């Protein structure tokens, strides 16, 4: 039974480019004449077919849209969307990168692209690329503190404590008064032997939440350790 694909950033889109003997749309070559109006026409037709759950026809229309204008961001986004829900992640990644480049304004779709791209790069263990995207995701999505812990824990569990520390430090530029982030950063710093920096973070957490015996114990425990 077919079910409608949920929209990750908007509406679903597109098929494998290699099967159509075309260059990758993530790095599409500009046609001799860019026809934005034609691209818009095919994009709307693709949306119509998608709403009717006629996905093969929607795919064809989105392909024609991108052929007419390789910089048509909505079609690039929707191509990434359908690949994502079909679990074709290696094809999703370059398209999300392309969409982020094309989408100059910070929109809900661009924020979602940052979040999804970072997650895919982390899942693929492409950590050197993922950390750059994750920091941008934190910067552009300041209401979403929960993503910070997912990112940091993924890096920590993969043995990249240095990247986990970067995530928490970036998060504190957005959430400076979050006691738990200060505590979490302190834990990471203590884990890598940066004890004086860890103590500063524990103290910050305790100051922000003075009723917490847990944070006071962290401060006293590390102070005792440093005094030995």
The confidence band for 23, taking pLDDT boundaries of 50, 70 and 90, is very low
Whether 218 is covered by a domain: the verdict is yes
The confidence band for 83, taking pLDDT boundaries of 50, 70 and 90, is confident
Report the pLDDT value the prediction gives residue 3, as an integer from 0 to 100: 45
Report the pLDDT value the prediction gives residue 62, as an integer from 0 to 100: 85
Whether 171 is covered by a domain: the verdict is no
CATH of the domain at 77: 1.25.40
- Give, as one character, the DSSP assignment of residue 125: T
Q: pLDDT tens digits for 110-142?
A: 999 999 999 999 999 999 999 999 999 999 998
Whether 77 is covered by a domain: the verdict is yes
Q: pLDDT tens digits for 146-181?
A: 999 999 999 999 999 999 999 999 999 999 999 999
Maximum Cα–Cα distance across the chain: 73
Residue 65 belongs to domain spanning:
1-23+40-86
Q: Which residue has the higher pLDDT, 27 or 68?
A: 68
Mean pLDDT within 34-44: 94
Whether 80 is covered by a domain: the verdict is yes
Whether 130 is covered by a domain: the verdict is no
Domain final residue pick, 49, 64, 86: 86
The confidence band for 16, taking pLDDT boundaries of 50, 70 and 90, is very low
25 alpha-carbon distance from chain centroid: 20
Segment among 15-19, 104-108, 184-188 with least mean pLDDT = 15-19
Its pTM stands at 0.81
Q: Is the pLDDT of residue 54 over 90?
A: no
d(CA 226, CA 222): 6
Whether 170 is covered by a domain: the verdict is no
Whether 136 is covered by a domain: the verdict is no
Report the pLDDT value the prediction gives residue 53, as an integer from 0 to 100: 83
21 C-beta neighbours (distance < 10 Å), count: 6
Report the pLDDT value the prediction gives residue 28, as an integer from 0 to 100: 52
Our count of domains for the chain comes to: 2
Q: Is the pLDDT of residue 228 over 50?
A: yes
Q: Which residue has the higher pLDDT, 14 or 206?
A: 206
Contact yes or no for 160/127 (Cβ under 8 A): yes
- Give, as one character, the DSSP assignment of residue 27: G
Q: Which residue has the higher pLDDT, 150 or 17?
A: 150
| 172-175 LR contacts (CB < 8 Å, sep 24+) | 173/139, 174/138, 174/139, 174/142, 175/142, 175/145, 175/148
Report the pLDDT value the prediction gives residue 17, as an integer from 0 to 100: 36
Whether 92 is covered by a domain: the verdict is no
């Amino acid at each position: 039974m077919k079910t409608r694909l949920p929209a990750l950033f908007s509406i679903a889109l597109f098929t494998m480019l290699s099967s159509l003997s075309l260059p990758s749309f993530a790095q599409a070559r500009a046609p001799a004449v860019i026809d934005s109006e034609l691209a818009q026409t095919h994009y709307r037709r693709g949306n119509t077919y998608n709403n009717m759950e006629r996905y093969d026809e929607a795919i064809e229309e989105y392909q024609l849209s991108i052929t007419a204008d390789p910089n048509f961001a909505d079609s690039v986004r929707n191509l990434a969307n359908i690949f994502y829900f079909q679990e074709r992640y290696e094809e999703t990644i370059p398209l999300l990168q392309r969409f982020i480049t094309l989408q100059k304004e910070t929109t809900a779709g661009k924020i979602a692209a940052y979040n999804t791209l970072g997650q895919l790069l982390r899942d693929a263990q492409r950590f050197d690329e993922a950390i750059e995207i994750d920091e941008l995701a934190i910067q552009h999505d300041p209401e979403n503190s929960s993503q910070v812990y997912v990112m940091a824990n993924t890096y920590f569990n993969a043995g990249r404590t240095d990247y986990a520390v970067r995530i928490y430090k970036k998060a504190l530029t957005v959430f400076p008064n979050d006691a738990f982030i200060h505590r979490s950063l302190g834990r990471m710093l203590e884990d890598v032997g940066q004890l004086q920096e860890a103590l500063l973070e524990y103290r910050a957490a305790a100051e922000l939440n003075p009723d917490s015996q847990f944070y006071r114990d962290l401060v006293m425990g590390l102070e005792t350790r440093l005094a030995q």
